Every structure is written in C-alpha cells, then in structure tokens.
Amino acid sequence: MGGFVSRGFRSRRRPDAETAERLPPGQYLTRDFPVLSAGPTPRTSLSTWDFSVVGALPEPRRWTWDEFQALPTETVTKDIHCVTKWSKFDTVWEGVSLDTLLAGVETDATHLVAFCDGGYTTNLPLAEVTGGRAWVAFTFDGAPLAPEHGGPARLLVPHLYFWKSAKWVRGLELVERDRPGFWETLGYHNHADPWREQRYQGD
Amino acid sequence: MERSGNETDRRLDGNAAGGLLAEAFCVEMTTAVVVCAGCGAEAVVAELLRYGHEMGAILRCAGCDTAVVRIARTGDRLWLDLRGAVNLRVSAAP
C-alpha cells in the first residue's frame, strides 16, 4: 500500500523520464478527456452531414457521410496537448488524412480555415497539415466520436495545441491570405506549437 | 481617403474620447443591454448564455446562439471582442 501511494505521489509531482520527455513545457499529464466547448453541442444528422473543401481551388470538393466513410482511412495513436495545460498520451483515432482530402488540388492557397457546425473556425498553414500530420477523425478509442468530443467528425492536428483540432468540422476553406480563427482573434497564438509554448499572441 | 482641411481640423485622436470611454467601461456590465448582431434581439448581458472554460468566456444570444461577447485573459492581457453585438448600452452617470 505504501508503495502505491508513493508511486502516485511521485507521478503527480515529478513525471518519470519517459513522461517528462513527451510532455511539452508547462503541461501536465491527465488520463481524463476534459471537454472544452465554446458553445452548445451541435447535433447534425449523418443524412445531412457533408464535408467540403472550398475556396482557392478550381472545383470545390464535397463528400456525403457515406462517401467520406468510403475514403481510405488511417488509424493513428497520438499525444494531444490542450492550451489549458493538460496533455493526454496515446489517444487512438481513425480518420481520413488531409493528404487524401487535398490530393491533387491545384491551389495558390497558403493557409486553410477549418469551418464547423456552430460557427467555430481555426486557421492553419497548408504546410502544417500535409505530410501525415492532420486528419478528419470520426472514431476515438475504436468507437464513433461522441458529440461532446466533436462527433461526428473533428479535425485532428496533434502537433499543435488542441484548439486547432476543431470539433464538429464540416469543411476546409483554402485561402491565399491567412485568416485567424475563433481563438486566434481573441489573443491566442496564431501558430500554437506546444513545444515552443505558443499559447498567446506574443509568446 | 482625402479629407478637407476643415475635416482634419475637426478630427481629434482617441484621447479626446477618454472620458466617455472610461465612463462606458468602468460600469457594472451584467446590467448592460446588448443587441445581437445575429438576430437583432435585445438582451441584458446577464440574460446571455455563458459558455466558457479556462480559455475564455463566450456569451451567446439565448435566441440564436451568436457569440455576442467574447472575453479572454491571456497572461497579463484581457481581450474583448464585441463583433457579435450591434451595440451595447449602459446607464450614464447622473
């Protein structure tokens, strides 16, 4: 019993070497999956759900839910980091890579703006979401993504603070000029790299 | 935009509004009245629906969910976004 208490104490106060190496500066490890929402949880029927890529490309792309499910999917295991300082290790997601959604697109765009049910937006440089670094995920831990965690589908960009992983995502607008999103226009960092602790503008 | 000499003469910088701004911002805000830019509904700030967490407070219109007031503290700065409000009305000091 004493050993158990001692281990628990040590894990909160001083993470072991492997944990410390995987935790970006200022973060702590949690086993929960906290829910952070800036508005009511939308309930979108799968029969009306679609996903589109619009903006600076010759022809917009659009998939219904069934068409989206038929795209090649990937299962990835990633550590995620919230700007409110919790991190969660080894989260398992299934989704469609943005490499697939943007394959062959001819565009002069430098950035994208993810748009969502409920009006949320977040901006990302195109170079940050290609090369196997971003997905539109629709399962978490092997089960359909719960609405409070962004279901039916959310963006997953695990190398940036988690507000960039927009919940209830419905599409990507390709833009030739960066356009800061919901939190990026309220003082949060435009890029949001947890390893450089880019929490707020000016960090 | 070109401005006439008279127009430039009449124009002052933001300091000239300092007294009014101080009066507007140093008041009890929960009793202020806002008009939602989404649906035009008028509401007392206290009647807006607060969504929020450690990242900031989002006050939404109870009728249409528009984010009327957004406020966040980032380190030693406070950010206020009122794009979702047509206007905001407070009682003037007597």
Supply the pLDDT for residue A2: 38
Structure tokens, B74: 């980032």
Q: Which residue has the higher pLDDT, B6 or A103?
A: A103
Mutation choice for A interface testing from B55, B70, B73, B78 by most A CBs within 10 A: B55
Supply the pLDDT for residue A11: 46
pLDDT, tens digit (0-9, with 9 covering 90-100), for A3-20: 344 444 444 556 788 888
Q: How far is B72 from chain A (nearest CA, A)?
A: 7
Q: d(Cα A144, Cα A133) in Å, to the nearest integer?
A: 21
The pLDDT of A147-152, averaged and rounded, is 96
Q: Which residue has the higher pLDDT, B54 or B1?
A: B54
Supply the pLDDT for residue B36: 98
A-contacting residues in B 13-32 (Cβ below 8 Å): none
Which residues in B lie closer than 8 A to residue A185 (C-beta atoms)?
81
Q: Among the CATH numbers 3.30.830.10, 3.90.420.10, 3.65.10.10, 3.90.1580.10, which is that of A26-196?
A: 3.90.420.10
Supply the pLDDT for residue B4: 65
The yes-or-no verdict on residue B24 having pLDDT over 90 is: no
pLDDT, tens digit (0-9, with 9 covering 90-100), for B40-87: 999 999 999 999 788 999 999 999 999 999 999 998 999 999 999 999
Q: Which residue has the higher pLDDT, B13 or A133?
A: A133
Supply the pLDDT for residue A128: 96
Supply the pLDDT for residue A10: 43
- 3-state secondary structure labels for all residues of B31-89: HCEEEECCCCCEEEHHHCEEEEECCEEEEECCCCCCEEEEEEEECCEEEEECCCEEEEE
Contact A163, A102 (CB under 8 A): no
The yes-or-no verdict on residue A150 having pLDDT over 90 is: yes
Supply the pLDDT for residue B10: 76
Question: Among B37, B41, B30, which Cα is nearest to B71's?
Answer: B30
List Cβ neighbours of A180 (8 Å cut-off, separation of 6 or more). A123, A190
Which residues in A lie closer than 8 A to residue B74 (C-beta atoms)?
187-188, 199-201
B62 in reach of chain A (CB within 8 A): no
